[in-house]
Amino acid sequence: MGKITVIGAGMMGSALVFPARENGNEVCLVGTPLDSEIIAECKKSNKHPKFDREFPEGIKYYFYEEWREAAKGADFIIGGVSSFGVDWFLDSILSELPADVPVLSVTKGLIDLSDGTLISYPEYWKRELAKKGIDREVCAIGGPCTSYELVYHDHSEVAFCGEDTATVSMMRDMMKTSYYHISLTSDVNGLESAVALKNGYALGIALSIGLCQRENGAECGLHFNSQAGVFYQAVREMKRLLRIQNATEECEAIGFGDLYVTVYGGRTRKIGILLGEGLSFEQATEALAGVTLESIVVAERVARAIRTKAERGLASISDFPLLFHVDDVIRNGKDAALPWDSFTFED
């Protein structure tokens, strides 16, 4: 059908190779400067070292130094970097890529401005590129989809967002499969806010799992009342934040779905459980050395933004007890024990 080039051989960028190739496209996977070992293994075995399944036949693999060759003739580029590679992607790829080549990003996160405004990475990139005289819109993917389940063709509902309807429609047509289901929205800020916020709140929910193990022993099994109680509070606070971000109801719903899947697996769950068990933030991050913890960055930035808005009379800190509890645990070494009474209300 066409050609898709993925830049960034992380787990989600690499997982998207499956629907891209299985929909009949030519697909190139390009590593960043940190992905040389991954690309070498892909060339050798046709398999990502963190996946149990081989890639579909016909994928072409490139080291970072070859990215221009891989991008030549692509209908669009998928940016597969983590939130810690945002500026690298800006300087090394977006600033160098021809302006007429569309880009679809998997990167999740928000940036807080000095006045407390929260902007998405696509908006950040657009602003920074404009300073260089480059006019570029970056589209993005959001939704409840884990990389390892996508590789196994589990049915996944996601959304592509972008201001140009024709561009995101083209991307959907080239990526959709019998198991990869794609909605479209022009609400870039709403979708990106929803799927970023879920990381910080999933960490808060995971605290309850670790706390249960601390109180009842490591073999106590999962207790769902406490998880559901914190999930309910997370949804309340996310709805308030997404109103501030003027998100549509559809984007809210995607964020809640993403919150659900994030609680049940991955890095955010691990750090939350360790903190709940009683480890300090330093001990927990040391135990997970080498693991990218985007949830920490999101929680800190959103808490800082709301604090700034509260100082300006535009928000109330008391509306976000779970957010600020997570922030206190991370930044100030507060014990993870949850402030349950602050979650109750009288209507």
Q: If you count them, how many residues does the chain have?
A: 347
**How do the domains of the chain map onto residue ranges?**
3-186, 197-343
Residues in a beta bridge with 3: 26
The whole-number pLDDT of residue 147 equals 94
The CA distance from 8 to 42, in Å, is 13
The whole-number pLDDT of residue 232 equals 96
Phi-psi region of 63 (alpha: psi -120 to 50; beta: other; left: phi over 0): beta
SS3 116: coil
SS3 112: strand
Stated pTM of the model: 0.93
Q: What CATH number labels 3-186?
A: 3.40.50.720
CATH tag for 197-343 (out of 1.10.1040.10, 1.10.3720.10, 3.40.50.10190, 3.40.50.300): 1.10.1040.10
The whole-number pLDDT of residue 266 equals 78
Which residue from 205, 229, 216, 211 is spatially nearest to 279, judged by alpha carbons?
Answer: 211
* pLDDT in single tens digits along all 347 residues of the chain: 799 999 999 999 999 999 999 999 999 999 999 999 999 999 999 999 999 999 999 999 999 999 999 999 999 999 999 989 999 999 999 999 998 999 999 999 999 999 999 999 999 999 999 999 999 999 999 999 999 999 999 999 999 999 999 999 999 999 999 999 999 999 999 999 999 999 999 999 999 999 999 988 878 877 899 999 999 999 999 999 999 999 999 999 999 999 999 998 778 899 999 999 999 988 988 888 766 678 899 999 999 999 999 999 999 999 999 999 999 999 999 999 999 999 999 98
> Residue 124 corresponds to which tokens in the numbers above?
């950040």
DSSP code for 5: E
The whole-number pLDDT of residue 292 equals 64
Which residue from 321, 142, 315 is spatially nearest to 230, judged by alpha carbons?
Answer: 321
